[in-house]
Structures are given as structure tokens and as C-alpha cells.
Amino acid sequence: KQPVAVLISGRGSNMGALIAASLDKDYPARIVTVISDKPDAKGLDHAREFGINAVAVPRADFDSKAAHEAAIIAAIDASGAKFVALAGYMRLLSGDFVNTYAGRMINIHPSLLPAFAGLATHERALATGCRVHGCTVHFVTEAMDEGPIIEQEAVRVEANDTPETLAARVLEAEHRIYPKALAMLASGQVRMGRGGQTRFAD
Ligand code: GAR
């Protein structure tokens, strides 16, 4: 199984979905460490309940963004992880960080990219009048939320949806596509091409 580090900032429900999937003996990846920039992230406790190494690397402990990122890279590399999965990690990564894991780092985003990059995606989808919304797993590149797409799932918008009800249904879809996308990456079914495009194996 390919070793994976998961980066979180909060609840960690997507992290939980990856851990749950990885418990299957046939799943091609295993979660070797969970790293949070927030010491009080609920996901840290959840990971520890599964016996997974879980560490906080708070931004406030470092003088600069570069020093903080260097500490996270050190933690990832110490774990032996080959792949990195961002799961609600709410900090913009530098180009250096992204390039360190080029083609080996993926993210889940709560919209059908390229629509609604950034924050407050459910509010914006409702305000736009979208009838279809959803979620995306993509390779991480320097431009935020613009990396090549690996997997998406569409979610219908209902007439009486609020940002909260819509977010809850999108989250269920996130929990389906993130384990699927990580399995595709870990098993070599998908990779990032040199030109920054998604390549699926034949
Ligand atoms: C998820 O909806 C994820 O897609 C989103 O944060 C939530 C984290 O929930 N990520 C982003 O908005 C990234 N820009 P979780 O901690 O329960 O997985």
C-alpha cells in the first residue's frame, strides 16, 4: 500500500472517509500521518482513535510562512509518505511547497471546478441560481483550485436548499469521490502529465 499523509485544519470528515476506505485490505493506500495547522482540529483526535500518528504544526510556532511549510514538509517526509492529500487544509501553499509534491498532492474542493474556486462555494452556487453543484478532486498546482481534475460528482440543487443543506449533500459526495480519487492515484490509474494535464491509464 502506498503511504499517504493527510493535511487538515478542522473537522476532518474527508480524512475520516480516506481512513475508512484505507482499512479495506484491497485499498491501494494507507494513511501514515495526519498533520493539522490547527492544534484543536477535531480530526486529530479522530485519526488517533485509529492509531494513526497525528500532529499539530501551528503557524504561530514559526516566524515565517517558509519556516512553517518547512516544518510540515519535514513531518510529511519523516512519515515516509509518498502522496499528500489535502482534506480541508485551509492555508494557501507556496509554489515551493506545491512543487515539492508535484503530481503527488491532491485536494478536495466543494464545487464543480472551474466554477467557484475559493471560499463560500455553496452560498455562491445558490446565489448564482445553479441547478447543479458538486465537488472536485484535483492535483494541487500553484494556482489555487486550478490543478488538473481527477474526479467530480454532481449534486442537484433543490428549490428549498440553504447553504447548509446543500453543503451536507455535497459532503456526502465528497466522501465518495475522495477515496476513489486517492485509490486511482495510488494505484497508478491516474497521474499528472508534464504539461500539467490529467493522464488516465489505458
Ligand atoms: C470540505 O467540504 C472540503 O471540500 C472543504 O472544506 C471542508 C472540510 O471538511 N475544503 C475547502 O474548502 C478547500 N478550499 P472536513 O474537514 O470535514 O473534511
**pLDDT tens digits, one per residue of 165-193:** 999 999 999 999 999 999 999 999 999 99
The pLDDT of residue 186: 98
Q: What is the pTM of this model?
A: 0.98
Residue nearest atom 9 in ligand 1 by C-alpha distance = 88
- Which one is catalytic: 109, 122, 138, 175? 109
Atom of ligand 1 nearest to the CA of 109: 4
The pLDDT of residue 152: 98
pLDDT at 202 over 90: no
What percentage of the chain carries pLDDT values higher than 90?
Answer: 98
User: Would the CB of 171 count as within 6 Å of ligand 1?
Assistant: yes
Tell me the β-bridge partners of 44: none
Q: Which residues are annotated as a binding site for (6R)-10-formyltetrahydrofolate?
A: 65, 90-93, 107
pLDDT at 138 over 90: yes
User: Would the CB of 109 count as within 6 Å of ligand 1?
Assistant: yes
ipTM surpasses 0.85: yes
The mean predicted confidence, pLDDT, of the chain is 97
- CA of 74 from ligand 1 middle (Å) equals 24
pLDDT at 195 over 90: no
